[in-house]
Copies of this chain bind each other. A is one copy, B any other.
């Protein structure tokens, strides 16, 4: 793999100019962080899940982020309706398979969504994505379980099977649409020490997807930006409370020079 340059700054600028509405049906734990992440990078987040309004709301949106972190059966029904609306409008649908592999309900509902509506990006940590790819792996709650596989191969085969982009977050982020693959080496271990960074990553991916139709490229750009913000936030060695505050500061203010210097994307 070779280090390449992806147009992170250019896409960021498009987000700030176009202010795309990013519609979420997400979990109740990190819902604020998801919304605020979209906001500070220049998008317009909207969280709405009533089955009577999701199709109305998604018509205003440029992308749809689904996250099953605190799913219920009814909530997934609303997700389906919203995704159908997104499919008709032709905007990208991101599915964060949060906690897949932890319970039967999560697995079933992920498969149901993947079978009944068009998902454009599947995003999760290694054990979650492995479960969705059909591996017999048990996720320990919502934290990743280590398994020994070639991640790019796993992701690529799932991308081919589901005709979508697959994003596996971790120390290195792996992104592929089966035709091409990216590895993003930005990020900092402190990001794994606080709740919310996984979900925030999903929301950033969703916001970049709203302005760039090449979803593997947009996802790589999104995760590199997020990782750079994480690296800068960790610089002063602050604890996790301070780190999170800084994460929003840096996501808000990253300039072209810093992005160009710090991005570590390989293809």
Contacts and interface: CB of A to CB of B under 8 A. Distances in A.
Interface of A: 19, 21, 23, 27-33, 35-36, 39-40, 44-50, 52-53, 56-57, 60-61, 69-73, 99, 102-106, 138, 140-143, 193-196, 238-242, 244-250, 252-253
Given A23-B141, A40-B239, A48-B103, 8 more contacts: A29-B32, A30-B32, A36-B196, A53-B71, A53-B106, A56-B105, A240-B252, A241-B248
Give the 5 A-B CB pairs with smallest separation, nearest first. Answer: A239-B249, A241-B248, A46-B141, A241-B245, A53-B105
A37 to B, nearest CB: 9
Nearest to A40: B240
A45 B246 CA distance: 23
B73 A52 contact: yes
Nearest to A104: B56
B252 A247 contact: no
Contacts of A247: 241
9 contacts: A28-B47, A29-B32, A39-B193, A44-B141, A45-B141, A45-B195, A50-B70, A50-B71, A193-B252
A41 to B, nearest CB: 10
A187 to B, nearest CB: 17
